[in-house]
Every structure is written in structure tokens, then in C-alpha cells.
Amino acid sequence: MSTNKSFSTETAERYSRALFEVSKESSELDKNESDIKNFQQMYETSLEIKNFIKDPTQSIKQQSSVINLLSEKLQFSKNLKNFFLLLVEKRRIFFIQKISHNFLKLCSKKRGELKASLISSKELSAVEIDKISKDLSNSTNSTLKIDYKLDKELIGGLKLQLGSFMIDTSIKSKLKKYEQVMLEN
């Protein structure tokens, strides 16, 4: 990990760690994780909410009233609602996407889960994805969550990334290597 983190990354990590600790102490970790996931889904699908939160010209009063409304609709715990209101008060609410992402990573890490990214050139069935997940879980001695995507531009093969470890068996990658070799000669 780089030692030169951006201000937004450091800030998001500090706030997500604080939310994680408060959630753990109040035994609301599972509820807050679920609520954050619901919020993230709504944030990603609603351009109005995303624009409202990212708009620095919105007053604290306006943002607080929207957060109160969202907290009520999504049935946030008192601590999560207060956390969001604190972000509004400190003018850090526009970091919410990074904070949420970091918070969910902390929750996964606490459960001993690892995240992997799997990209294939052809559609894999749920059984195939499950088999890959189980095989990797056994070899890493960890629970593995796979983020699966289809990319037909790979031509054939697949890419798997687990942390900093990458396996790329795609034909597209092999063709690029051959192209590079040909250009060098």
C-alpha cells in the first residue's frame, strides 16, 4: 500500500474505522452493514441523491433534513443516523461512497472473507463460479467472495485477481504479449 494516500482516502478510512468501532461496541455491526449496503444501492441507482450529496452548495440544514428522511425510510440505527448527520455537519458527506466501501471491507475482513475478481470471456454458470470459489477458498483457507463479470473482449480464457495476486489466461492478454514481442524485434 502506498504511503502517499490522498486526503480523501485517509479521511474515508478514519471515518469508516470510527463507524466500524461504534457499530461493534453497540452490537449493531450486522444491521449497519446491511443498512450501508441498502444505502449504497440507493445511492448508485438514484442520480438525484448522488447529485444532492455531492453538491457542496447544499446547506447543512438541507442535507440534514434529507439524511433524517433517508434514515427514517431505510430504518437506520440511531448510531448510523447520527454518523451520517456528523458527516453532514463536518462537510464530509461527499466522502460517503468511499466511507461505505471501506466500512464494508472492514466488515468482510472481520469475518475472514477475501474478495476476488473473476472476469471471463464466456458466461459462467452459478455452479462453475461456486466451484471456483470453493477451490480458491480451500487453497487460501479463507471464505472467498467473488465479484464476477463477463467481458467478451477477452476472446477466450479468464482473469482472476485475489488481492495483489493476478492470474490472466485470456487470449487478449496473450495476443498483447505477442504484439509487444513482435514490436521489440
- Give per-residue pLDDT as tens, 133-149: 888 778 777 777 788 88
Are 95 and 12 contacting, i.e. CB atoms less than 8 angstroms apart?
yes
Are 121 and 157 contacting, i.e. CB atoms less than 8 angstroms apart?
yes
pLDDT digits (tens, 9 = 90+) for 76-103: 988 999 999 999 999 988 888 899 999 8
Are 159 and 153 contacting, i.e. CB atoms less than 8 angstroms apart?
no
What ranges do the domains of the chain cover?
7-109, 114-184
Angle CA 155–161–164, to nearest 5: 135
What does the DSSP assignment read for 139-169? HHTSEEEEEEEE-GGG-SSEEEEETTEEEE-
**Chain mean pLDDT for the chain:** 85
| Confidence band, pLDDT 50/70/90 cuts, at residue 5 | low
Backbone angles phi, psi at 77, to 5 degrees: -70, 160
Are 74 and 35 contacting, i.e. CB atoms less than 8 angstroms apart?
yes
Q: What is the pTM of this model?
A: 0.64
Longest dimension (CA), the chain: 65
C-alpha 129/C-alpha 149 separation (Å) is 11
| Confidence band, pLDDT 50/70/90 cuts, at residue 54 | confident
C-alpha 82/C-alpha 75 separation (Å) is 13
Predicted pLDDT of residue 4? 57
pLDDT digits (tens, 9 = 90+) for 21-49: 999 899 988 999 999 998 888 888 888 88
The 3-state DSSP composition of the chain as helix, strand, coil percent (nearest 5) reads: 65, 15, 20
CATH numeric code, 7-109: 1.10.520.20
